[in-house]
């Protein structure tokens, strides 16, 4: 089924994570549960921030966009993964494969640059608190957000186009659960060296630019915190960026492990585990990290809940 004599293939076959029927059932239940938590967590985060006026600040503006991106790239991958686990339909069209590849890369790259913007926001909040409202104006926040999407589009377009123009004449079986660049490249009967260079340069530029921005921001933050005399002041300053720092470490750790290495070191099992973590698990973890470690979000959730309950009681009393 996976062999073709033509110079291109009409579709691809996603082999998924395992051939075991029992394991597929367990994974499908687990992934479905994770996806439901992801949807509820990220949609809930967006609604709480939008409904509570006290959270209409630059920090929570970026957090809303982070929830949107987590929900988006998880939705690009997880529903198709569930389909391949639960049904015998494991094929994905040529166009569908590269559409998935583009949008996954686009949302993931946007998140890289958004995390950089969030780091800069924390830098201004801690290092220049008196000028924070002026520097982090709505205009700058929207400019940083727009820049994140533009940079992601500039990165993803040449990568997706260059991979899609390769010839796939030997096999259409992707040894992965979604259309990622490395397993798709391994199917090509063309010379992929130039494409690999393009991917490495684009991915490296993407990750390094955002990491440099984040590292510079946190070095300045650390320097400022160390100058604070009181221990309570240091803890308060650090707590404002602890959630973001934790999210950055988890996100970039798996991204660097997966993408910034040569294709010759590609390991199916190891890379699939890393891919599951950043495509399915991290979008669920982010709203938990930013809500459970953030008193403002928890208090806002209580205020929104009390307001809704109060409105329902008034309606039931005919007021």
* Tally of CB atoms within 10 A around 129: 11
**pLDDT reported for residue 258:** 66
pLDDT in tens, 124-135: 988 898 999 999
Pairing, β 173-174 against β 11-14: parallel
Burial environment of residue 27 by CB neighbours within 10 A (0 to 12, 13 to 18, 19 or more): buried
CATH code at position 280: 1.20.1070.10
pLDDT in tens, 275-284: 888 888 888 8
In a domain, 277, yes or no: yes
> Edge-to-edge, what's the strand order for the sheet holding 91-93?
91-93, 11-14, 173-174
Residue that wins the pLDDT comparison between 125 and 270: 125
For residue 2, what pLDDT band results from cuts at 50, 70 and 90?
very low
User: Range of 147's domain?
Assistant: 11-316
Q: Which of 135, 142, 109 is nearest to 121 (CA)?
A: 135
The answer to whether residue 191 scores a pLDDT higher than 90 is no
In a domain, 60, yes or no: yes
For residue 171, what pLDDT band results from cuts at 50, 70 and 90?
confident
Tokens for 107? 């949302």
In a domain, 104, yes or no: yes
Judge if pTM exceeds 0.75. Answer: yes
In a domain, 4, yes or no: no
Domain count, the chain: 1
> Mean pLDDT, to the nearest integer, of 108-127?
91
> Where do we find the tokens 């910034």?
260
> Mean pLDDT, to the nearest integer, of 57-71?
92
In a domain, 5, yes or no: no
In a domain, 6, yes or no: no
Distances (CA, A) of 310 to 130, 313, 315, 319: 37, 5, 9, 11
**pLDDT reported for residue 30:** 94
> Mean pLDDT, to the nearest integer, of 246-257?
78
Question: CA-to-CA distance for 103 and 115, rounded, in angstroms?
Answer: 18
Percent of the chain with pLDDT over 90: 30
> Mean pLDDT, to the nearest integer, of 60-78?
93
Distances (CA, A) of 193 to 15, 53, 215, 229: 25, 52, 31, 55
Compute φ and ψ for 12, nearest 5 degrees: -120, 160
Burial environment of residue 317 by CB neighbours within 10 A (0 to 12, 13 to 18, 19 or more): exposed
**pLDDT reported for residue 314:** 52
Asked if 120 and 213 touch (Cβ cutoff 8 Å), the reply is yes
Residue that wins the pLDDT comparison between 297 and 192: 192
Q: Which of 112, 6, 113, 122 is nearest to 58 (CA)?
A: 122
The answer to whether residue 116 scores a pLDDT higher than 70 is yes
Asked if 98 and 49 touch (Cβ cutoff 8 Å), the reply is no
**pLDDT reported for residue 143:** 96
Question: CA-to-CA distance for 153 and 253, rounded, in angstroms?
Answer: 23
Least confident span in 112-126, 189-203, 224-238 = 224-238
The answer to whether residue 50 scores a pLDDT higher than 70 is yes
**pLDDT reported for residue 319:** 46
- Work out the mean pLDDT of the chain and round it to a whole number: 83
In a domain, 174, yes or no: yes
For residue 244, what pLDDT band results from cuts at 50, 70 and 90?
confident
The answer to whether residue 229 scores a pLDDT higher than 50 is yes
């Amino acid at each position: 089924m996976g062999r073709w004599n033509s110079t291109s293939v009409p579709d691809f076959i996603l082999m998924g994570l395992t051939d075991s029927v029992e394991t597929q059932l367990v994974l499908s239940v687990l992934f479905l549960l994770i996806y439901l938590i992801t949807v509820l967590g990220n949609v809930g985060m967006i609604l709480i921030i939008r409904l509570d006026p006290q959270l209409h600040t630059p920090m929570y503006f970026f957090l809303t966009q982070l929830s949107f991106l987590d929900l988006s790239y998880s939705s690009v991958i997880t529903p198709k993964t569930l389909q391949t686990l639960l049904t015998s339909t494991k094929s994905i069209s040529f166009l569908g494969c590269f559409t998935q590849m583009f949008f996954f890369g686009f949302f993931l790259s946007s998140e890289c640059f958004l995390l950089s913007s969030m780091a800069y926001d924390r830098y201004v909040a801690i290092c220049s608190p008196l000028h924070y409202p002026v520097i982090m104006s709505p205009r700058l926040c929207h400019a940083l957000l727009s820049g994140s999407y533009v940079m992601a589009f500039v990165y993803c377009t040449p990568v997706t186009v260059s991979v899609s123009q390769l010839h796939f004449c030997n096999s259409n079986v992707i040894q992965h659960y979604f259309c990622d660049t490395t397993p798709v490249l391994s199917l090509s009967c063309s010379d992929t060296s130039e494409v690999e260079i393009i991917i490495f340069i684009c991915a490296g530029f993407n990750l390094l630019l955002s990491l440099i921005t984040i590292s510079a921001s946190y070095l300045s933050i650390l320097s400022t915190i160390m100058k604070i005399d009181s221990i309570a002041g240091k803890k308060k300053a650090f707590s404002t960026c602890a959630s973001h720092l934790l999210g950055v470490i988890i996100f970039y750790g798996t991204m660097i492990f997966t993408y910034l290495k040569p294709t010759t070191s590609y390991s199916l099992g190891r890379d699939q585990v890393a891919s599951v973590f950043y495509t399915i698990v991290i979008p669920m973890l982010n709203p938990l990290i930013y809500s459970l470690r953030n008193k403002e979000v928890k208090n806002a959730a209580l205020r929104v809940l009390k307001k809704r309950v109060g409105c329902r009681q008034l309606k039931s009393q005919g007021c």
